[in-house]
Amino acid sequence: MHRPVLLVIAHGSRDPRHAATVHALVRRVRSMGVPPGRAERPWGRPGVRVETGFLDFNAPSVPQVLDRLALEGVRDVVALPLLLTRAFHAKADIPAVLDRAPARLNITLADVLGPSPLLLDTLERRLYEAGLTPADKCSTGVVLASAGSTDPEAIAVIAEIARELRHTGWCAVRPAFASAALPRTEDAVRELRALGVRRVAVAPYVIAPGFLPDRIARGAAEADVLAEVLGPAPELARLLLTRYDEAKARPRAAALTA
């Protein structure tokens, strides 16, 4: 059965950890459904080919991948933004790049990753890996630290995710931003301290390391726990395939209006 190619579109960064994390996540997607001991293939589920392209700084670029797919005779592509909110890159940069794709390609633009219960699961996985346990929830406040945006829709989504995380049992959750919006991570940590929260943890709501995640880490200096970035978590890999399935099921007429 013919299935569209899954093209994961990452932002890119001068920090080599960014691309390394993106590639690790894509490898996990490719490995899903592959029997143990079998060699890695360029697809995860049978027949689903997975490619990676970057908007900036890293290779291959999105246009390079699209041109190569067209030359190979590929017809259908699901373009998946490796983004947690619908901010500028999702609304402007990625559609503009896809509009310049070879005409032979039928491209469906998938939704961004967030919000999703799988992202909440990933956040909790990272907090537990940092040393917390479910029993710590009632005495631990969490700073949900994102990269930040000037887009009001993106800021509202982060605030809603903080509320959803709070409803899973943490005693308090505050959103924070590394840039473009307030409060900063360190201010949210101090706010929780002032409320008398016994233990404060910072959960970076970012996919890969880089300049802004490093700023989050510096802002967490007064916290008790700093979790890792979301990275190549299995829940995140499942979410990529979920967004792929949702996009693939859309009518062709809705391909580039997501």
Are the C-beta atoms of residues 198 and 104 closer than 8 Å to each other?
Answer: no
Q: How many distinct structural domains can be found in the chain?
A: 2
Rounded to whole angstroms, what are the CA distances from 114 to 126, 139, 180, 236? Answer: 17, 27, 19, 10
Does residue 41 belong to any structural domain of this protein?
yes
Domain check: are 25 and 86 in the same one? yes
Task: Judge whether residue 47 has pLDDT over 90.
Answer: no
Are the C-beta atoms of residues 105 and 74 closer than 8 Å to each other?
Answer: yes
Domain check: are 184 and 110 in the same one? no
Lookup result for tokens 């409803």: 167
Does residue 203 belong to any structural domain of this protein?
yes
Does residue 31 belong to any structural domain of this protein?
yes
Contacts (Cβ under 8 Å, ≥6 apart) of 255: 106, 107, 108, 109
Does residue 119 belong to any structural domain of this protein?
no
Q: How far apart are CA 162 and CA 114, in angstroms?
A: 12
pLDDT band at 252 (very low <50, low <70, confident <90, very high): low
Task: Judge whether residue 81 has pLDDT over 70.
Answer: yes
Does residue 34 belong to any structural domain of this protein?
yes
Domain check: are 49 and 107 in the same one? yes
Domain check: are 10 and 110 in the same one? yes
Does residue 120 belong to any structural domain of this protein?
no
Task: Judge whether residue 36 has pLDDT over 90.
Answer: no
Q: How far apart are CA 124 and CA 164, in angstroms?
A: 12
Domain check: are 215 and 241 in the same one? no
Domain of 90 in residue numbering reads as: 5-114+233-254
Domain check: are 101 and 23 in the same one? yes
Please tell me the predicted confidence (pLDDT) of residue 42.
45
Domain check: are 63 and 11 in the same one? yes
Please tell me the predicted confidence (pLDDT) of residue 24.
98
Does residue 124 belong to any structural domain of this protein?
no
Domain check: are 92 and 168 in the same one? no
Q: How far apart are CA 108 and CA 115, in angstroms?
A: 20
Q: CATH number of the domain at 205, please.
A: 3.40.50.1400
Domain check: are 110 and 136 in the same one? no
Domain check: are 82 and 28 in the same one? yes
Q: Which token pair is 3?
A: 């299935």
What is the pLDDT averaged over residues 179-203? 97
Domain check: are 36 and 62 in the same one? yes
Average pLDDT, the chain: 93
Domain check: are 65 and 100 in the same one? yes
pLDDT in tens, 204-216: 999 999 999 999 9
Please tell me the predicted confidence (pLDDT) of residue 258.
46
